[in-house]
Structure 1
Amino acid sequence: MEFTLKTTFNATAKQIYKTWLSTQGHTKMTGGEAFVSDRVGDPFTAWDGYIKGENLILEPYYKIVQSWRTDNFKDREEDSQIQLILSETDGITELTLIHTNVPEDGEHYIKGWQEHYFEPMKSYFE
């Protein structure tokens, strides 16, 4: 399965991009411990190791593509993929999240993105 979510933040695309790919920034922005890098091919973890993946494509201040899986994925299930697209207008950035190759029982990740990313990010960037 796959889904697309959109939300806006009172922040520049550069701020969101740099925070997402920074260990300290990602941790503060979500409230869960993260280890992140801004280099293609590097692994990352988020939410105290619950989420793991790798940076696949990085286009500064515009696009982040990462492989993505949680501890809930079964061993036989392939990694899913997230694509974040940032579109800024007058200091307000629309973030489009496209999450593909999600396990069939992964409907709950939609709510997870809202509660564990978008809501804390809105507070962080206000």
Structure 2
Amino acid sequence: MKDYKKYYLLPATPDEVYTALTNPVTLELWTGDPAEMSTEPGSEFSLWEGSIVGKNIEFVPGKKIVQQWYFDGQTDESIVTIKIHPDSHGSSVELRHVNIPDDDYNDIVEGWNDSYFGNLADFFEVG
């Protein structure tokens, strides 16, 4: 199991970033795929046509998202924590993803950088 932590700068307010990560309509706009998402703790979510699935654990509007991501056959919970901080250029987003299976690590890191936060940055810069 491996952990990953990185900071991303986004040209949007913390509230805009939070909405983009939690509102299913906005998620579909920047991912290009149907999204199932709720800010109800304990609810299930699905992104990128089921490529990412899990359970929502905690939400602090405009500040924090905590989710459990599911990996087949994994016994240790893989937890994603996203903290959103105001920054002079918009928002600084702190990502921490723990207990990533070794075999999935490189794909997950690439996904965070390119598909997830890369697409989100493009969305805000174009929008």
Q: Same fold (TM over 0.5)?
A: yes
TM-score normalised by L of structure 1: 0.89
Cα offset for 1:111?
A: 0.9
Are the counterparts in 2 of residues 21 and 37 from structure 1 also a CA contact under 8 Å?
yes
- Mapped to 2, the partners of 1:50 and 1:9 lie a distance apart of 24
Gaps of 5+ in 2: none
Aligned to 2:90: 92
Identity of aligned residues (%): 27
Q: Could you tell me how far apart the structure 1 residues matched to 2:14 and 2:46 are? A: 22
Matched, 1:20 2:18: no
Matches within 5 A, 1:54-93: 54-69=55-70, 73-90=71-88, 92-93=90-91
Which has the larger helix fraction?
2
Q: CA deviation at 1:4?
A: 0.2
CA contact (8 A) 1:31 1:120 kept: no
Query: What letter is aligned with 2:23?
Result: S
SS across alignment from 1:15:
helix
Cα drift, residue 90 of structure 1: 3.8
RMSD (CA atoms): 1.4
Task: Give 1:80 deviation, angstroms.
Answer: 1.0
* Corresponding residue pairs, total: 123
- 1:105-124 residue CA offsets vs partner (Å, 9 max, x unmatched): 22221111111111111111
Distance 2:15 2:41 in 1: 17
Which aligned runs of 4 or more in structure 1 are off by greater than 3 angstroms? 76-79
Per the alignment, residue 109 of structure 2 pairs with 110
- Cα distance in structure 1, aligned partners of 2:124 and 2:77: 29
Deviation at 1:91, TM superposition (A): 5.5
Q: Mean Cα displacement is larger for which, 4-13 or 75-84? A: 75-84
In the alignment, the residues of structure 2 paired with residue 77 and residue 30 of structure 1 have an alpha-carbon distance, to the nearest angstrom, of 29
Output the TM-score relative to the length of structure 2: 0.89
Once the 2 structures are TM-superposed, how far is the Cα of residue 78 of structure 1 from its aligned partner?
A: 3.7
Amino acid in structure 1 at the alignment position of 2:59 = L
SS in 2 for 1:107: helix
